[in-house]
A and B are shown apart, each in its own frame.
Chain A
Amino acid sequence: MLEVTSISKTFDGFKAVNNANLAVEKGEIVAVIGPNGAGKTTLFNLITGILKPDSGRVLFKNEDITGLPPHEVCRKRISRSFQIVNVFQRLTVFENVQISVLSREKKTWNLFTPSASLAIKETDEILESVGLLKKKNRTTALLSHGDRKVLEIAMALGGNPEFLILDEPTAGMAAEETSRCIDLIKKLSQTMGLTILFCEHDMEIVFGIANRIMVMVRGGTVIQGSCEEVRCNEAVQDAYLGASDVCLM
């Protein structure tokens, strides 16, 4: 479904992403792992058009989407959540998701119909599915960190995506919130049939939900393969753990 081939991005001489490759099939959950600064977020930014790659290609459903601006990438039904919470601070939970739905329905050029009467059902359904419906009238500034991360996912769902990119979905969550978030990700994959690409530091989560794993080190792809392949790959252990006699998990 998504194919990234030898993509590179340099910031002032620093190769943030260097010849990275990634392939995601329809319906899969693929994890990207790697030490801090390996270029995971930059890779996601390159796929979603927030950054333009210096070289390489991004194919989505056999269509070249390299260098498209983010709002057009979104129209191809690719949505993402952010690592650092990135929501509309002054608006309510409901409004946050509603804008996303309105944008997908191409209604944001409408100047005279009150928003309050539009896209209510769709928005409520999304909030219901992520479990935020009871908090829909709160300003996002009053939400807990965990709820805000979930709101991130809800906003991404507003675009009715086929392909969902989650940048460290559980970072900073309490244990209980984490397990709820994992259930949510599983549910999105199983019941809604979403293809999911995510990155995460918690190996338990990665090996728990990913079908395949891509390992990034210093901007490049070390390996992409099944959990078993990655788990006992020597290069991964060398690079990622700095010791070759430990097997991940």
Chain B
Amino acid sequence: MSKKTLFWLGAGIIVLLLLPVFLPRFYVYLVSIILLYGLLATSLNLVLGYGGIFQFHHAVFYGVGAYGTTLMLTKTGLPPMLAFIVGPLVSATFGLVLGIICIRLSKLYFGMLQISLGSLVWAIVYRWYSFTGGDDGIHGIPIPEMLSSPKGAYYFTLIITLVCLFIMWKIIQSPFGSALQGIRDNPVRSEMIGINVRMHQLLALALAGFFAGVAGSLFVVVDNTVFPDMLFWTFSLEILIMCLLGGWFTFLGPMLGAAVIVALRTFVSTYTDYWALVLGIIMMLVIFFLPNGILGYVEEKFKRGFIEPEIEEQ
């Protein structure tokens, strides 16, 4: 990483740390939501943009993580911090199990099967009143005192998100990350150079499930509620759009996409109920003019200026 990137990264983190001092409570809450949605979208992008797997129902793992954490907090007397570890682990397991079932199908069929199995999980959560609270969800979840204030929740979200992003960044830079990108570009070729494609994909799915689960537990901290819509398929679509909009071949693209969508939903919906219409138009423009997403476009422009003219020698 160059010094310049480090400088901007440091500056960004300092601004984020200072935000609660200046911003009113509502905006602090909004930034927390952006951060955790960004984490969620980045975890999807680990398998979508870097792994080439059409994970169409990512919200399931987010929801399962949130419910896992919540049920631990409300139904057991175990230390609360344990709940924040168990939630993500449960979603990692879900990611692995759904992955084992779906991975034998390729590309779109993987996505289709995942949507149906994921909807099954949603239906169970929606109906099982005695355990999950059914369509009411669970409200007023007891959160450790330290995290229950908006500021506490914000800092907790910020720190966990940054740590998770850092770990995912390391994973993408690692040999496993390289292999994953190879599999995305060409699974047959990857097999032929000795990579066990399915096993690598399964690990990626479990990892993506884990980080989605982390995002889910963060939502519990920020919002104190869980509800079945968190794992409804329309929300999966929203996460998918965050990735595409921000740039699914860039690392921070999904975070940017999350910011755009949350901002749109918050501010446009005060003027009209049809905020999704605005989103749809933006999405169409992006697909036509910025097929690699906003950040993908910026990166392209940026790189183009730096390509040195290479002289072909004979």
Contacts and interface: CB of A to CB of B under 8 A. Distances in A.
Partners in one complex: yes
A72 to B, nearest CB: 8
A110 interface: yes
B171 interface: yes
A9 interface: no
Contacts of B181: 88, 90-91
For A89, A103, A158, the residue with the greatest tally of chain B CB atoms inside 10 Å of its CB is: A103
A115 B189 contact: no
A114 B185 CA distance: 20
A50 B249 CA distance: 29
B171 A103 contact: no
B178 A98 contact: yes
A69 interface: yes
A155 B186 CA distance: 13
A52 to B, nearest CB: 13
A87 B179 contact: no
B246 interface: no
A74 B193 contact: yes
A219 B247 CA distance: 47
B178 A80 contact: no
A58 interface: no
A87 B177 CA distance: 17
Contact of A71 (B170, B174, B175, B191): B191
A135 to B, nearest CB: 8
A108 B175 contact: yes
A91 B185 contact: yes
Interface in B160-187: 170-171, 173-179, 181-182, 184-186
A14 interface: no
A108 B170 contact: no
A100 interface: yes
B185 A115 contact: no
A47 B194 CA distance: 15
A112 B175 CA distance: 8
B264 interface: no
B191 A69 contact: yes
B192 A79 contact: yes
B143 interface: no
A50 B192 contact: yes
Contacts of A158: 193
B185 A112 contact: no
Interface in B242-274: 249
A155 B189 contact: yes
A109 to B, nearest CB: 6
Contact of A108 (B178, B184, B191, B313): B178
Given A88-B186, A91-B182, A114 B194 contact: no
Nearest to B207: A111
Contacts of A87: 185-186, 189
Contact of B193 (A50, A100, A134): A100
A110 B178 CA distance: 10
A238 B189 CA distance: 37
Contact of B173 (A90, A115, A156): A115
A104 interface: yes
Contact of A116 (B173, B176, B186, B313): B173
Nearest to A50: B188
Nearest to B173: A114
Interface string A137-162: 01000000000000000011011000
A48 interface: yes
Contacts of B176: 108-111
Given A71-B197, A79-B193, A112-B170, A102 B178 contact: yes
Interface in B116-163: none
A113 interface: yes
23 contacts: A50-B188, A50-B191, A70-B191, A70-B192, A71-B196, A71-B197, A79-B192, A82-B192, A88-B185, A88-B186, A99-B179, A99-B190, A103-B179, A103-B190, A108-B178, A111-B170, A113-B175, A115-B173, A115-B175, A116-B173, A134-B313, A156-B193, A159-B193
Given A108-B200, A111-B176, 10 more contacts: A70-B188, A74-B194, A80-B192, A87-B189, A91-B185, A109-B175, A110-B175, A111-B174, A112-B174, A113-B174
Interface of B: 170-171, 173-179, 181-182, 184-186, 188-197, 200, 203, 249, 310, 313
The 4 closest A-B pairs by CB, nearest first: A74-B194, A70-B191, A88-B185, A108-B179
